[in-house]
Amino acid sequence: MATSRLAATTPPPPLSGDERFPRRQDQRRLLGSGLGEKKLALLFRTRDARPLRTRRPFAVKSVSGESKQRLKDSPLEEEPGSLSPLKPDAASIASSIKYHAEFTAPFSPDQFELPKAFFATAQSVRDALIINWNATYDYCEKLNVKQAYYLSMEFLQGRALLNAIGNLELTGAYAEALSKLGHDLENVAAQEADAALGNGGLGRLASCFLDSLATLNYPAWGYGLRYRYGLFKQRITKDGQEEVAESWLEMGNPWEVVRNDVSYPVKFYGKVVSGSDGKRRWIGGEDIRAVAFDVPIPGYKTKNTINLRLWSTKVLSEEFDLSAFNAGEHTKANEALSNAEKICYILYPGDESIEGKILRLKQQYTLCSASLQDIIARFEKLSGKHVNWEDFPEKVAVQMNDTHPTLCIPELMRILMDVKGLSWKEAWNITRRTVAYTNHTVLPEALEKWSLELMQKLLPRHVEIIEMIDEELVGTIIAECGTENPGLLEKKLKEMRILENVDLPPAFAELIKPEEDPVASSEKEPETSKELDINLEDEPHNLQAQENNEELPEPEPEPPKMVRMANLCVVCSHAVNGVAEIHSEIVKKEVFHEFFKLWPEKFQNKTNGVTPRRWIPFCNPELSKIITRWIGTEDWILHTDKLAELRKFADNEDLQTQWRAAKRSNKMKVVRFLKEKTGYVVSPDAMFDIQVKRIHEYKRQLLNILGIVYRYKKMKAMNSAERTAKFVPRVCIFGGKAFATYVQAKRIVKFITDVAATINHDPEIGNLLKVIFVPDYNVSVAELLIPASELSQHISTAGMEASGTSNMKFAMNGCVLIGTLDGANVEIRQEVGEDNFFLFGAQAHEIAGLRKERAEGKFVPDPRFEEVKAFVKSGVFGPYNYDELIESLEGNEGFGRGDYFLVGKDFPSYIECQEEVDEAYRDEKRWTRMSILNTAGSHKFSSDRTIHEYARDIWNIAPVGVP
């Protein structure tokens, strides 16, 4: 495309004082925009011609639900003659883009190529967002409402441009404006790098929640870290996965606003001392600063725009050792800055080394400390001169997304006691009413723990507070259980304590002693001389062994002393929730069973959801138009329950024809994408069978690829006519990252790519079977693949996936699922109908028994499974040695063996279910009907529903700012 040259625009003179704007700083900024007064009026004109005084005033429903407060002087309620930040037209947008291209885009002025066009476009969108953003928080501050604060180590946002203009209802205007400037909106949007702030479902869930919070007008903030390099960029080479640093910030981030005036001190190491007033104080150590970078999150069809605040780390300039630098000791001079900056370099640094563990703990504490200080500062500001700390839980709700933000519990206690002067009892009461915890794992061995010794060095004051909380817990357990049955009490304490392998607090040590059998004690005879002789004879033997240099048995090492973060979360939170019905039941019955018996009122279920805006209309506009046409309204985008109305049209031939056309159009986009990304050419007439998610043994990509190997082996044993008659053509697509130090997961990636290379170059097979591994899978790739998907695999070992959200996105886009009864699959199957979900495999309640049978040597593998393993070992997929990968599926028990994830057990059920998939796909009408019913049945899996439940049941907050 030819590039266009933009002429510089001279900023207009200042507007007269009687021309009014929503905020004075926005006026000063926009006066230099080069738009001119008329175009500024277009940019901020009202939505209709009615006098604004007659428009419905903004209102907030009180938390108690007893009254409505009205704010007549709300910054969002304008008077006649004022300019309102509402829909601009294409001409004013084009002028805004031209201005930013000339004056703010970080590119040279002589060309207007795609990267520059993206930055200028994004900055013009940000102008509109900032107006809504400022007004939203002005309004919330005026009302002083309770707000929710969502703390997460990950926010997997994806590209922001199309989402932002879609939520602002400006997609058409921006497309027209860019067309006037010589560019296509889709090409411009493709220039945006995915924000590398997350990796998997945890981060995508957090981003979906922020979208829903903004859309539903809830007062809320997100808090995370601003990772410079993200997790990593994945490359696929002949050796498998290769990790390189992510470059998402190299050209800058047009969406963020650095807040140099919002920074907080964060301390590590040092020591704790008692002051003359008896209070404990944390002094010395290593000091850094956390600086805020804000990203606006717009709601859909609302002015409400909330904030994602990300922390970056640095030190003050005086920490730079100028003397050392001038002496040539450059590394030493920069040491403090380097130590601070590396905290926010990458997501989840490898923790095999002690340095890696320290860095991870520093990351978690930085997130918690900076966020809590910010939240408290806002509370104090809104409280005015008289701060009543008892009101803190009435104004603040802190949600911990998994255990990564657990340190916000002792940090809040520390600030309240050591900085604000509250007593232990006061701080403890406030903290327990403020924080809540979302659990994301059912595996006890996967629950986060930290070395007590390491934490004592890095965060000595927090360990003191955690020890006090543990002591409170021990007292509660003893009060509930009593001391009559020491064995039972000891079992409960071992399972429930926050401190693992740590002696009981002195106050309770005497209460719990090993139970002595009185009968055995009375019958015991005194030591005989014979016994004494035996004991005496042992000593010379030991001396003899030492003289002969014989090795004595090594004493059993003491188990490490650990801090169990999940237990700390459960003890201190007023609410604990799982993220799917089956997961929440496992949490109550297994993972935290003793806690559930103690505090049953704490435990809730909040099935995950995904934002329907990004995952249907924005990524699949063709399907979205069809849905709107047949339902008769666009309201389904906000009220997804209306999707259920598609059920009555599922057999309509016209709808089915349109539905298939939309699916094929999306498949054609993927055909082009795969050719560009991988070099492979695939047929759009084949079934698109997709598994995209983090590479992990429990998610069982290995089961999928072994099923493909079985299919390939059977094809090779047939002639061409037999193959065509037996098998439906398939394109099997994989995507996902294996953690850099997860060796087995990386072997699986290597195996998939080797199988792909063999099958894709086999002329006998042709288009009947293709296998593609898409490198560097991210949200933008998902937005292409999911609308084109026809079969999606969610095949985790039952009882091991907390929920999943990709299954919801696939179902929303008319994809049929094959899976186990695990996570949200259970609820999806209930909603879409059993006939429209391909089910296989063992169920969650059977897993423990099946593993026990395996350990006892009772498992008899299916001959087809043994056949596939032998085929892999034969070397048909290249010279790489896959013995260790295959051996993980063999034996009865032991680390890396014994098929812990039951691939062999579920394999026969899986391949038989895949035969059912082929049969259903051959029936075009049946498959299309299944596809339509999957979309219709996904109506319950909107994150809007999930957020409403959090707001009602956990945070106790109400929507605000709804006109």
Q: Is 295 left (phi over 0), alpha (psi -120 to 50) or beta?
A: beta
The one catalytic residue among 613, 699, 854, 939 = 699
Q: What angle do CA 124, 129, 132 make, to 5 degrees?
A: 140
Q: In angstroms, rounded to a whole number, what is the distance separating the alpha carbons of residues 767 and 857?
A: 42
Distances (CA, A) of 520 to 515, 523, 525, 527: 12, 5, 10, 15
Contact (Cβ atoms closer than 8 angstroms) between residue 201 and residue 441: no
Place of tokens 């406030």: 430
Contact (Cβ atoms closer than 8 angstroms) between residue 561 and residue 451: yes
- Which structure tokens are listed for 223? 């808090």
Residue 95's Cβ-side half-sphere holds a number of Cα atoms within 13 Å equal to: 21
Amino acid symbol at 705 = I
Q: Is the dihedral of CA 27, 32, 38, 41 positive or negative?
A: negative
440 classed as catalytic:
yes
331 classed as catalytic:
no
Would strands 730-735 and 769-774 be described as parallel, antiparallel, or unpaired?
Answer: parallel
Contact (Cβ atoms closer than 8 angstroms) between residue 245 and residue 262: no
Element containing residue 360 per DSSP (H, E):
helix 354-383
The one catalytic residue among 362, 440, 613, 905 = 440
Q: In angstroms, rounded to a whole number, what is the distance separating the alpha carbons of residues 814 and 928?
A: 8
The one catalytic residue among 694, 700, 747, 929 = 694
Would strands 280-283 and 576-578 be described as parallel, antiparallel, or unpaired?
Answer: unpaired
The one catalytic residue among 126, 183, 362, 809 = 809
DSSP string, 82-109: --------HHHHHHHHHHHHHHTSSS-T
Q: In angstroms, rounded to a whole number, what is the distance separating the alpha carbons of residues 159 and 430?
A: 38
809 classed as catalytic:
yes
713 classed as catalytic:
no
Distances (CA, A) of 560 to 30, 364, 410, 501, 563: 60, 21, 22, 7, 10
- Which structure tokens are listed for 1? 């495309």
Would strands 240-244 and 233-237 be described as parallel, antiparallel, or unpaired?
Answer: antiparallel
Q: In angstroms, rounded to a whole number, what is the distance separating the alpha carbons of residues 280 and 798?
A: 48
Place of tokens 């520093």: 362
121 classed as catalytic:
no
Residue from 842, 825, 845, 844 nearest 834 by CA = 825
Contact (Cβ atoms closer than 8 angstroms) between residue 403 and residue 567: no
Count of beta carbons in the 10 Å neighbourhood of residue 625? 14
Contact (Cβ atoms closer than 8 angstroms) between residue 822 and residue 793: no
- Which structure tokens are listed for 345? 């370099």
Q: In angstroms, rounded to a whole number, what is the distance separating the alpha carbons of residues 553 and 535?
A: 18
Q: Name the phi and psi angles at 371, rounded to 5.
A: -65, -45
Q: 3-class SS at 236? A: strand
Say which DSSP state 687 is in.
E
694 classed as catalytic:
yes
Residue from 482, 521, 197 nearest 346 by CA = 197
Contact (Cβ atoms closer than 8 angstroms) between residue 944 and residue 216: yes
The one catalytic residue among 228, 404, 606, 693 = 693
Would strands 435-438 and 396-401 be described as parallel, antiparallel, or unpaired?
Answer: parallel
Q: Is the dihedral of CA 48, 50, 51, 55 positive or negative?
A: negative
| Environment class of 716 (CB within 10 Å of its CB; exposed 0-12, middle 13-18, buried 19+) | middle
Alpha helix stretches (DSSP H) within 12-56: 24-31, 37-43
Q: In angstroms, rounded to a whole number, what is the distance separating the alpha carbons of residues 606 and 824?
A: 11
Q: In angstroms, rounded to a whole number, what is the distance separating the alpha carbons of residues 321 and 776?
A: 40
The one catalytic residue among 366, 406, 805, 935 = 805
- Which structure tokens are listed for 331? 């590394």
Say which DSSP state 418 is in.
I
Q: Which residues are catalytic?
A: 440, 693-694, 699, 805, 809
